[in-house]
Amino acid sequence: MPLDQLWATWRSLYVTGDPETRRALPGQHPRPADSDGNSGSLFERILNCGAPDSETFVLHRGAGCFVILNRFPYTSGHLMVLPNRAVADLEQLEQAEFAELWSLVRAGVSALKSTLNCDGVNVGINLGRAAGGSQTDHLHVHCVPRWVGDANFMAVVGGSQVMPVALEDVWQALRPCFTDLDAPPASGQSAPEATFDT
């Protein structure tokens, strides 16, 4: 059966962009200037690349963790929660990072439910290549919004996936849900608890 094409022109920068000068975007391998010392995992490079959050789709930067939209989502609104530093396993997280990670997962789920009106959310982590992880050096928790009937004929029969909302629009919709969390905690205090009205 021939595969039909669905045009996703927002990915054109990835295909046509100069790899030496293109911005670091989630899902791409950013090439930071050698002089700035910006190295590390893919996600560390994205977090520290200097591009505006609206271009990298970072929704929140916390004391030890951050929230970002997946550049190549399973569905519109697919976000990830990660520690700021690259660790491969949950056991490597400090207690404060662990608490902040799961607080932000809860905040992300709440934001997806209240903003995108999804019927459910898949939350998961792939730890190690055998578990399906593609970026195994930097653990990340996937939060994938789901709607009743969202596995439509395009995915099941057509082998294609339709993204109904552009990443830029999803970022604009979800970003306000994280503004209350943006103030860094005072010295000696833990990160603020994530809360949202649902």
The model's pLDDT over 122-132, given as tens digits with 9 standing for 90+, comes to 999 998 888 88
Task: Say what percent of the chain tops pLDDT 90.
Answer: 47
pLDDT value of residue 38: 57
Region 104-109: mean pLDDT is 98
pLDDT value of residue 8: 54
Region 55-79: mean pLDDT is 94
If one compares 198 and 150, the residue with the highest pLDDT of the two is 150
> Cβ neighbours of residue 107 under 8 Å, at least 6 residues apart?
60, 67, 177, 178, 181, 194, 195, 196
Q: Where are the domains of the chain?
A: 16-181
Structure tokens belonging to residue 144? 């994938």
If one compares 38 and 176, the residue with the highest pLDDT of the two is 176
Architecture of domain 16-181: 2-Layer Sandwich (3.30)
Helix (H) or strand (E) holding 79: strand 79-83
pLDDT value of residue 22: 46
> Measured in Å, how far apart are the chain's first and last C-alpha atoms?
44
Q: Lowest mean pLDDT: which of 22-26, 121-125, 180-184?
A: 22-26
> Cβ neighbours of residue 49 under 8 Å, at least 6 residues apart?
23, 24, 30, 32, 38, 56
pLDDT value of residue 35: 33
Greatest distance between any 2 Cα atoms in the chain: 61
Region 27-47: mean pLDDT is 65
Helix (H) or strand (E) holding 83: strand 79-83
C-alpha distances out from residue 187 to 64, 190, 191, Å: 13, 8, 10
Tell me, yes or no, if the pTM score tops 0.85.
Answer: no
Catalytic residue flag (residue 60): no
On average, the pLDDT of the chain sits at 78
Q: Lowest mean pLDDT: which of 4-13, 34-43, 64-73?
A: 4-13
Region 69-87: mean pLDDT is 94
If one compares 183 and 45, the residue with the highest pLDDT of the two is 45
Selected catalytic residue, list 78, 138, 140, 142: 140
Region 36-47: mean pLDDT is 83
Q: How far apart are CA 17 and CA 93, in angstroms?
A: 36
pLDDT value of residue 37: 56
